[in-house]
C-alpha cells in the first residue's frame, strides 16, 4: 500500500489553493504560507545545491523547535508540511518531512531523497548518550556520500562530517531501506513500522498534495 501511494507521488502536483485553505482552517499565517510557496517557485530553476541550502535554511529559521507533546498534545505525531507551517513549530520529524515535501515540489527527484532515522550522540561522536532523531539525506548518485539536512545544524554537511549520527533505517515515499545508501531495492518487510508515514501521506492528499 505504501509503494502504491507513493509511486504516483513522484509526479505530484500541488493544489495551492486547497493547501492555503487547509492552513487557514488550522489558524496558520497566510504570510508564512506565501513565503513557503515563494521559496518553492524561486528554487525550481536553481542548481540542486542551492535548492538544498535554501529549503534547509527556510525551515530552520522559520519554524520553532518543540516536542510533539507541546505542539500536538501527544507523545508522537508526524505533521504534514501544512500542519507544521500552520503551527509554526515542530520536532525533528516535522522539519525533515517538510523539507522532503518542499524539495520534491522544487524539482528534486524522489530517488535522491531519503528520510533517515538516526541515533544522535548527545555531546559529540564520543558520547555514550544518544537519542532518536531524524534527518533528510540527499544523494547526488545512488552510491554517493549523502548530504545531511538537519534542524540541529543549519550547515549542510556530508555524512562523513556527521559522526555523531548513527543511521538506523531510511525511507521515502517509495519504500523503506535498512541501509543508509541510496542503492538497492527497498526492503519488502517492515512497512508496518511506518504506519504514521502512510497516515501522513493520506492527510497530505486531503490538504492538496495530489499523488
Rounded to two decimals, what is the model's pTM?
A: 0.88
List pLDDT tens digits, range 129-180. Answer: 788 999 999 999 988 999 999 999 999 999 999 999 999 989 988 888 876 6
The three cell numbers locating residue 170: 531510511
Domain assignment of residue 211, yes or no: no
Domain assignment of residue 32, yes or no: yes
Cell 504514521, located at residue: 196
Domain assignment of residue 116, yes or no: yes
Q: Are strands 175-177 and 165-172 parallel, antiparallel or unpaired?
A: antiparallel
How many domains are contained in the chain? 1
With beta carbons less than 8 A apart as the criterion, state whether 115 and 130 touch.
no
Domain assignment of residue 44, yes or no: yes
Domain assignment of residue 25, yes or no: yes
The answer on pLDDT for 205 being more than 80 is yes
Going by C-alpha positions, the residue among 165, 163, 193 that lies closest to residue 178 is 193
User: For residue 197, what is the domain's CATH number?
Assistant: 3.10.620.30
**Which structural domain, as residue segments, surrounds residue 73?**
2-205
Domain assignment of residue 210, yes or no: no
How much is the pLDDT for 135?
98
Handedness of CA 124, 126, 128, 134 (dihedral sign): positive
Domain assignment of residue 189, yes or no: yes
List pLDDT tens digits, range 48-59. Answer: 999 999 999 999
How much is the pLDDT for 21?
95
Domain assignment of residue 10, yes or no: yes
Please state, in angstroms and rounded to a whole number, the distance separating the CA atoms of residues 31 and 41.
15
How much is the pLDDT for 175?
82
Query: Could you give the angle at the alpha carbon of 20 between the alpha carbons of 15 and 22, nearest 5°?
Result: 95
List pLDDT tens digits, range 81-93. Answer: 999 999 999 999 9
Amino acid at each position: 500500500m505504501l509503494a502504491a501511494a507513493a509511486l504516483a507521488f513522484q509526479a505530484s502536483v500541488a493544489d495551492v489553493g486547497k493547501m492555503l485553505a487547509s492552513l487557514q482552517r488550522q489558524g496558520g499565517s497566510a504570510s508564512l504560507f506565501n513565503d513557503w510557496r515563494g521559496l518553492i517557485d524561486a528554487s525550481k530553476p536553481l542548481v540542486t545545491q542551492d535548492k538544498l541550502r535554501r529549503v534547509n535554511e527556510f525551515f530552520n529559521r522559520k519554524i520553532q523547535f518543540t516536542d510533539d507533546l507541546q505542539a500536538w498534545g501527544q507523545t508522537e505525531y508526524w505533521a504534514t508540511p501544512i500542519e507544521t507551517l500552520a503551527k509554526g513549530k515542530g520536532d525533528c520529524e516535522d522539519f525533515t518531512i517538510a523539507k522532503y515535501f518542499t524539495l520534491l515540489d522544487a524539482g528534486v527527484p524522489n530517488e535522491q531523497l531519503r528520510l533517515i532515522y538516526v541515533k544522535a550522540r548527545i555531546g559529540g561522536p564520543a558520547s555514550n548518550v544518544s537519542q532518536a532523531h531524524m534527518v533528510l539525506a540527499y544523494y547526488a548518485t545512488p552510491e554517493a556520500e549523502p548530504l545531511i539536512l538537519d534542524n540541529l545544524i543549519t550547515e549542510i554537511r556530508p555524512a562523513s562530517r556527521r559522526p555523531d549520527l548513527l543511521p538506523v533505517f531510511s525511507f521515502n515515499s517509495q519504500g523503506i531501506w535498512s541501509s543508509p545508501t541510496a542503492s538497492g531495492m527497498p526492503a519488502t518487510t517492515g512497512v508496518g513500522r511506518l504506519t504514521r508515514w502512510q497516515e501522513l501521506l493520506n492527510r497530505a492528499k486531503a490538504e492538496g498534495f495530489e499523488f
